[in-house]
Structures are given as C-alpha cells and as structure tokens.
Amino acid sequence: MPSRRNFIKSTVGLSVLPLVGHAMPLAAPGGEPYTMPFRMVFDTSLPAGRAFGEEAAARGGAVIGDTGDWTRVWLKEIDAQWRREPVAVAGLTPHGPMFMFEQLARRHGMRLVFSAELVRRPAGEAGLTARGWPTLLSEVPTTIEDEIDWARRMAAHLTRIPYAQTPLQLATMQVGRVRPSPADDPVYAWAIAPVAGAARFA
C-alpha cells in the first residue's frame, strides 16, 4: 500500500490516477443516479488539498495534484474530454483555479453547481458558506473545526455528482459566524457539471 509521503510526491506537478468507468451512472442509496467526476483536482501546496486528494484517490477518483499551473492541467487532462463530452470535474483549491475552470466550462454547457468556501483564522474562528444544487448541499460536512478532516469528508462527498443534467437552481447555506474578509485566504471545494438548458459557446 502506498504511503502518504509517496502519494504526495506522486501528485506534485501534474499526475493522474486513472478512474475506470467514470462516465457510467451509478445508483445512489435513494435511487438517484450519480457519477464520479471525470477528474478531481487539488492544490498540493495546501494541507487540506493533499488530504482531499488522498481521500478522493482512496475512493477511486481520478485525481490531479498541482501547485499552480492550472492552465496546463486543463489543456493536458480536461479540455479534450470536454470537447468530446461535457463531464463533471470537482476539486479543492484556492479561488483562482475554481474560477478558471468555471469560466472554461461555460462554453460547453456546464456551470459551477457547487462551491463551499471555508475560512479559518489563527484564533480558531471558522466559517463555511456553501452554494449549489440542493442535492449536493444536503450532505455537506458542517463540522469545520478541523480543516483536514473537513477536506477528507468533502472529497468523499464530491465523488457523487448527480448524473442527470439538472437545471441550475441553487441554494445557499452558512455555518459559523465568520464572514470572509480581504485578509482571509479561504479554500474552496467545488464541482462543475453539465446543466440542463445552459448555453454553449463556440
């Protein structure tokens, strides 16, 4: 069994663990079809990102770790697939990569269907703001005192993305009293997926 150190080393730069059958819908316990994301990306410079990647890989996810060259990740691993068939992608990163993937996905009829912004401060204060499809919000981990544990539970949560192209009807939830400020450096767990009726662009 690979050690945690070897896992982290294998995901520095750009690396992928293959996922078999990622495009096939599976059955959720309640009968709702869902699918694993085509790729699950994470920032290897963040402890929470590494925890997310480890958990996602342990659950069979096709993970990509990087430290900042997200355009290369898109070009090498995601763009060609999105041109053939729009499929879900999830991740745990700072805001910049999430925003980049969100904008690139729009031309393929996909949207940001889930985002969870976690703010933690040295004094121990924490706050979580999540927005997304109600089916994804219903099981969001809301215990946020331990960022690493939260990231692992978010990885487990985001291995199950609704398979049907649902209209973009989003709900919002808030945990804790902390609100983001310009001085904060939050982490974002997110998912992008095909959306019914979403416009596509050339």
What are the structure tokens assigned to 115, written together?
Answer: 């985002």
Token look-up 């992008």 returns 192
Residues 83-107 have pLDDT tens digits of 999 999 999 999 999 999 999 999 9
Residues 115-171 have pLDDT tens digits of 999 987 766 677 889 999 888 888 888 888 889 999 999 999 999 888 666 667 788
Q: Give the start-to-end residue ranges of the domains of the chain.
A: 8-194
Q: Provide φ and ψ at 173, rounded to 5°.
A: -135, 155
pTM beyond 0.85: the answer is no
Q: Provide φ and ψ at 184, rounded to 5°.
A: -80, 160
Give the separation between CA 174 and CA 177, rounded to whole angstroms: 8
The answer to whether the beta carbons of residues 152 and 52 sit under 8 Å apart is: yes
Q: Provide φ and ψ at 156, rounded to 5°.
A: -60, -40
